[in-house]
Amino acid sequence: MTTARYGRRRTIGRRRLLALMGLGGAGVIVFPALGNGPIGKVVSIDGLVELERDTASLNLSPDDPLMIADRVMTREDGFALLLLDDRTKINLGASSELTIDQFIVDQGGTISMGGAMLFDRPADLPPTDITILTAFGQIGVRGTTFFAGPTKGKFSVFVDHGSVSVTGGGEERILVAGEGVEFEGEGAPPGPVVKWGQARVEEAYASVRVGR
């Protein structure tokens, strides 16, 4: 992580998250839960990675299943590679967290995150509607590869391939491959869409331990 402000794990309450985004509970895609079965698994971890499920707190290990409402948390030395629906990869950086709010295979869902992550869904798969909620804004996904997290001291979103919509502070930006935006702070709209240089892209990927 680039600064101490973003280096620590950010705990985001659901009600506070929606208020920061100005949603007030409206406009969020909601899907029915997928019963009690797993919707993904842990592929690999490095360092300390924990899971909150119901009232239990557990240390994660490779091949552990992931369920609806699971909250995955990496500590300062922790990194995790998660797999949803056997095809969608999520690399979670250090001092980060991710909650699987709702998810249905090949349809979509809602995920809340804080910290840094790389979302990677192969381009040859059918599009799926996934909404990523952060304290800074909302990211709309339909099958793509993108980074979300701090770079150069600001929360940023960068699209490697495909396209995403980034919404915050009542404004929307559409990003395509090679483009990124950053936020000045919580509640602020996303900044202008710009092309990212190789150095910034490499910094972003390094924060989730992925080479590019």
Instruction: Parse the chain into domains and list their residue ranges.
Output: 4-206
Q: Which fold has domain 4-206?
A: Jelly Rolls (2.60.120)
Q: In what order do the strands lie in the sheet with 71-74?
A: 56-59, 49-53, 71-74, 97-104, 108-114, 129-133, 138-141, 163-168, 171-176
What does the pLDDT profile of the chain (212 residues) look like in tens digits?
333 333 334 444 544 443 333 333 333 333 333 346 899 999 999 999 999 999 899 989 999 999 999 999 999 999 999 999 888 999 999 999 999 999 987 788 999 999 999 999 988 888 889 999 999 999 999 889 999 999 999 999 999 999 999 999 999 999 999 999 999 999 999 999 999 999 999 999 999 999 87
Quote the CA–CA distance of 198 and 212 in Å, as a whole number. 9
- Reduce the DSSP state of residue 104 to 3 states and report it: strand
